[in-house]
Amino acid sequence: MTTITYPVIPGAGAFYYEGNDIGILLCHGFNGTPQSVRDVGIDLMEKGFTVYAPRLKGHGTDPEEFRQSTHRCWYESMEDGINLLRERCRHVVVVGQSMGGTLAMKAALSGQADAIVTINAALSVPGYACHAKDDVCRFIDEDEPDICAPGVYEIVYDKVPTSAIRELLALIEEVRPMVAEVNVPTCVIHSAIDNVVPPEDSVWLYEQVRAPKQREVLEQSYHVATMDHDRERLADVIGAFCEQVATVSKM
C-alpha cells in the first residue's frame, strides 16, 4: 500500500527557540498551525524562555490528512513536544489556544505539564454541535478566522472534514467532565468577545479548577487572541505566570 506524504504548507511548520530552563510549549487550535502562535512565541523567546510549538498531525498540510487524523494523534503531537522540552528544560508549561487549551488540560490531567495556560479554551463549540451525530464524512466550508484586528492572515484550511469536527467534540467530551481534577497551576485567559467559543466556558473552567489559578480577560481580541490586538499583553501575562511557576517550584 502506498503511503501518501503531504507537504507542510509554507509557514505552517513547527518552530523552536532555545532559551532558559523554563520551557513553554505553545499549542495551536483546531484547523490552525504554529503560524498562529509564532508572534507570541517570538515575544516569549525575547523574554528568555525556551519555546516550542508543535504542528499537530493533520494540520497545516492537506484537508485529506486532516480527515485521517484523530484527537489522540493530536495529543501525541503535543506529547512529543513536551518530551522534547523535558530533555532541555527544568520546567515545562503548556500553553494552548482554543483546542490547544483543551489538549493542555489533558496534559495536566495526565501529569505531563508543570503548569498550564489556556487561551479561549474549547470546552464547547456551538457552531460545530450540529455535526456531533453526523456519521457521514464530508467537507464543510470553514468560516473566516475570528480575529478583531484588520488585515491578519491565519493559515487554515478553507474546508474542514466533519470527521475531524467529531474528533474535536470527542476530545471536549473526554476532558470537560474532568477539569476539576486539574492539579497544576493554571492561568485561564479568555477574550471578552469570542464568536467561536463562549467566554462563559473559561469562566466556568476557572471556577472548577482547584489548583492555584488566575484569570485574565482580553478586551480587544476575539477568538484567535495570539494574532489579535492583545498579543503583547498576552505574552506578558504568560511570561509572568511562567516565572512565578518556576520561582514557586524552587522554594
Provide the annotated active-site residues: 98, 194, 223
Residue at 128: amino acid letter? Y
Name which of 27, 98, 21, 89 is nearest 57 in CA terms. 27
Distance of alpha carbon 78 from alpha carbon 188, whole angstroms: 19
Nearest to 227 by CA among 119, 143, 147: 147
**How does DSSP classify residue 116?**
E
Task: Please name every residue paired with 159 in a beta bridge, in sequence order, or none if there are none.
Answer: 141
| Secondary structure letter of residue 127 according to DSSP | G
Q: Is-contact 95 115, C-beta < 8 A?
A: no
For the record, the C-alpha cell of 215 comes out as: 484569570
Burial per residue of 175-211, b for 16 or more beta-carbon CB atoms within 10 angstroms, e otherwise = bbeebeebebbbbbbbbeebebbbbebbebbbebbee
